[in-house]
Amino acid sequence: KITEFFKDNNYYEIPFYVKKDTTVNVNTTEINVKFDGFEIMDGDFVSNQPTILFELNYSNNFPVGDTTAVVFALDNKRVYTSKMNVDYDTINKTISYIYEPKMEDGQHYLKVTGKPDIITDNSFGIDKLFTVSNKLKAVDIYNFPNPVSDETDFTFRLAKVPESLDIKIYTIAGRLIKIFELQSYELKTDINKVHWNLRDEDGDKIANGVYLYKVILRDQDKVEHYTQKLAIVR
C-alpha cells in the first residue's frame, strides 16, 4: 500500500451514459403575454395605455431574423414589430416584444398567431378579450372568507386606478373601527386584494358579529362608494 499525499495528478476512467432528455421538446415554440406585469383572463380590465409584454420561447429551427414569423394583431389590425421594443436573448432562446398602445374605452381583442409554414404547433398563439374603461368604478366587491374567523381579504376589480381608495369598516351602530387608506401606487387596474387581520385601529381583536364596510374611490373631483357586509364568527 502506497500513501499518496497528492491525488490530483491521478487519471481515472469511469464509463457513463447520457440519457436522452424527453421532458423538453426542442422543436416547440411558445408565447406568453402580460399586461403591466400581470397575466389576464378574458374580460379583465386593462389600463388605456398598458405595457404589453410578449415573451417568445423559440425552438432550435426558429428563424430569429424573420420578423414575419409571428403575427400580432389588435382589434383585427396587424401590429408590426417596428412599433415594438424587441429584445433578443440567443443564449436562452427567447425574444421579448414590448408594445405600448393607446386604447379607447370598450372591449378590445388581442390575437397572436404563427406563420403556418414556420410554426406548425397548433397550440401556439394568444387570444385575449379585455376591457378598457376610463370610468371611476369598482366591481366584484367582496371579502373572502365570509363569514370569517381569523383573517380575510377584501377583493375588488378596478376599471381604472383612482388617486386614492379607502376601505372603512363600521359596526352596525355606525362606529368606525378600522380604515385602510390606499394611494394610486398601491393599486392596479382590475383585481386588487387588501388583507385584514380582524383587528381594529387600536390593535384589538374584533368581536363576533355583523359589520359593514365601505369601499370609497376618489379621483380628482369624483367620488364613488360601495357598501357591503361581513360577519365574524368564531
Q: What is the pLDDT along the chain (234 residues), one digit of tens a residue?
A: 444 444 555 556 777 666 544 444 445 789 999 999 999 999 999 999 999 999 999 888 888 888 888 999 999 999 999 999 999 999 999 999 999 999 999 999 999 998 877 776 777 899 999 999 999 999 999 999 999 999 999 999 999 999 999 999 999 999 999 999 999 999 999 999 999 999 999 999 999 999 999 999 999 999 999 999 999 999
Cell of 111: 390575437
Q: Are 49 and 100 in contact (CB under 8 A)?
A: yes
Out of 3.40.50, 1.20.120, 2.60.40, 1.20.58, the CATH code matching 30-132 is 2.60.40
Q: Classify residue 44 by its DSSP letter.
A: -
What single letter denotes the amino acid at residue 135? K
φ, ψ of residue 185 in degrees (nearest 5): -70, -15
Domain with CATH 2.60.40.4070 in the chain: 138-232
Q: At the top level of CATH, which class does the domain 138-232 belong to?
A: mainly beta
Neighbours of 194 (CB within 10 A): 17
Give the helix/strand (H/E) hosting 153. strand 152-158
Secondary element (H or E) of residue 72: strand 70-74
What is d(CA 155, CA 212) in angstroms, rounded to the nearest whole number? Answer: 15
- 10 Å CB burial of residue 156 (0-12, 13-18, 19+) is buried
Q: What is the pLDDT of residues 157-214, one digit of tens each?
A: 999 999 999 999 999 999 999 999 999 999 999 999 999 999 999 999 999 999 999 9
With vertex at residue 148, the alpha carbon angle to CA 147 and CA 151, rounded to the nearest 5 degrees, is 155
Cell numbers describing residue 57: 420561447
CB atoms within 10 A of CB 29: 22
Claim: this prediction has a pTM higher than 0.85 = no
d(CA 206, CA 198): 6
